[in-house]
Chain A
Amino acid sequence: MLRFPIYMDNHATTPVDPRVLELMLPYFTDRFGNAASRNHSYGWQAEEAVDVARKQVAELIGATAKEIVFTSGATESDNLAIKGAARMYREKGNHLITVVTEHKAVIDTCKHLEKEGFDVTYLPVKRDGLVDLDRLRAAITDRTILISIMAANNEVGVLQPIAEIGKMARERGVLFHTDAVQAAGKVPFDVNASSVDMASLSAHKMYGPKGVGALYVRRRNPRVLLTPIIDGGGHERGMRSGTLNVPGIVGFGKAAAICREELATESARVTGLRNRLSDGLRRELDEIYINGSVEHRLPGNLNVSFAYVEGESLLMGINDIAVSSGSACTSATLEPSYVLKALGTSDELAHSSIRFGLGRFNTEEEVDFVVQKVSAVVKRLREMSPLYELAKEHEEVKIRG
């Protein structure tokens, strides 16, 4: 039985896994204590639960519990990592390197630091969305203190070569931060294997609750220090003050543990669904283009442009399917996706793009429905598209000519 609208926007957020919710609930009621209360069992209980979750989150990424700083989400984690490191290591240098396809939480944080006098290099990406390692190497100077490059992109699902980047950063004595929001729990991600010094995570992208995230901060080889961006009671070893969101953190921990246990089977299953979707659409439609590397890609991502059809009008026709589009018409600013632009996708194809984000709770039945529905609407809209008509006329001229 299908439930509508069918949710295929798992890069935006994911539903809370029922196993996660169940574990969280008592922390709203009986176990409501403040994890910082040292004098009674309510506090101890909360603290213990946070300790368990901290360990679970750490284990997902190959870290130790003490290296996890809980935050309100990955936007805060990105801010803390980049601003915190830049301000702490300002004496060493004032140059940062990032990539144009980063999430706004990284890009806008870097823009903010430019106003504080830092120099930021925004590296371009190749046609497939991957950063060019030679360009990265060439961009590092004696003044470079931080490289921030995401593990997986939220629009096109492209996986960056973070192990190579981490190695390069380590060799040059530069800190490496990665926004691992989309990668963690979906593909193998290990902070030691990839020489990562800081990593941002968000619970709601991995079947945990919204409003809770973490920053991994390396404690050894090298020990990373950060200037806090929130001052207060000195929680989280002084790096992030504020009473801990205990139910959220408990849920985050459980979500991380499930991802870790099920990663291999889940990623295989979701890859299968994604390929079924991709194959189905290609079987039904001509002139569809996948944006970004097919090889270096998250299991659940399919970002595809349906030539001659504008994205918003397509979304309108498939309103029983929840997905998102890179079309300008869907954004308040009437700008098409900056990520697709950075990949060199033409404006026209950027306008025609749809991002499918498959996840844990999608089924083959849903995929088959989506293939049929999307194909039918694309065909209908192409019949209404002057661009399609023009293209067909050109084709005929060519054939006749």
Chain B
Amino acid sequence: MSYSEKVIDHYNNPRNVGSLPKGDTAVGTGLVGAPECGDVMKLQVRVNPETGVIDDAKFKTFGCGSAIASSSLATEWLKGKTLEQALEIKNVDIVQELSLPPVKIHCSVLAEDAIKAAIADYKRKQQDGQ
């Protein structure tokens, strides 16, 4: 497998690796996995309660280089976006940006799923809090 330069760059210098406090009401956590390939992605967003804008995003990924790059890129894109804008990020955008080959498309799907799961978790917390 040969990788695009962008995948290699994200792999070598992953942006936003780490964890945000899961219990924080401003934090949404998405934990997703692709069973066909046994990979697991955790993606977290922190939303500024005043502005509704994502002011921090973190990830941890068990998966191939393309999965790591997809989640790293996703966190980069998420910062500064509103939840509505964040939900517009699609896996095809990630595929295009990273020049992923067809066998690695599901790694980008995983990243999209992780974004959705993190935002859903955040929204759930807001409802529960009310």
Contact = CB atoms under 8 A, between A and B. Distances in A.
Interface of A: 308-310, 312-313, 316-317, 327-330, 332, 334, 336, 347-348, 350-351, 383-389
Contacts of A312: 1, 64-65
B14 A384 contact: yes
Contact of B68 (A330, A350, A351, A384): A384
Nearest to B41: A386
Given A312-B65, A316-B11, A351 B38 contact: yes
B39 A329 contact: yes
Interface string B37-72: 111111000000000000000001111110110000
Interface residues on B, range: 20 to 34
Given A317-B11, A328-B38, A386-B31, A310 B63 contact: yes
A313 B40 contact: no
B61 A386 contact: yes
A294 B62 CA distance: 28
Interface in B95-110: 103
B65 A316 contact: yes
A330 B1 contact: yes
Given A316-B3, A328-B36, 15 more contacts: A310-B62, A310-B63, A310-B67, A313-B67, A327-B64, A328-B38, A330-B64, A332-B103, A384-B14, A384-B61, A384-B68, A386-B41, A386-B42, A386-B62, A387-B40
A148 to B, nearest CB: 31
The interface residues of chain A, by DSSP majority, are classed as helix
A334 B60 contact: no
A334 B31 contact: no
Which 7 A-B pairs rank lowest in CB-CB distance, beginning with the nearest? A329-B64, A386-B42, A312-B64, A386-B60, A316-B65, A351-B38, A385-B62
Contacts of B4: none
Contact of A383 (B8, B17, B40, B103): B17
Nearest to B7: A316
Contact of B63 (A313, A317, A336, A347): A313
Contacts of A387: 40, 62
Nearest to B39: A310
Contact of B38 (A332, A336, A388): A336
Contacts of B19: 389
Contacts of A336: 38
B37 A328 contact: yes
Contact of A384 (B1, B17, B64): B17
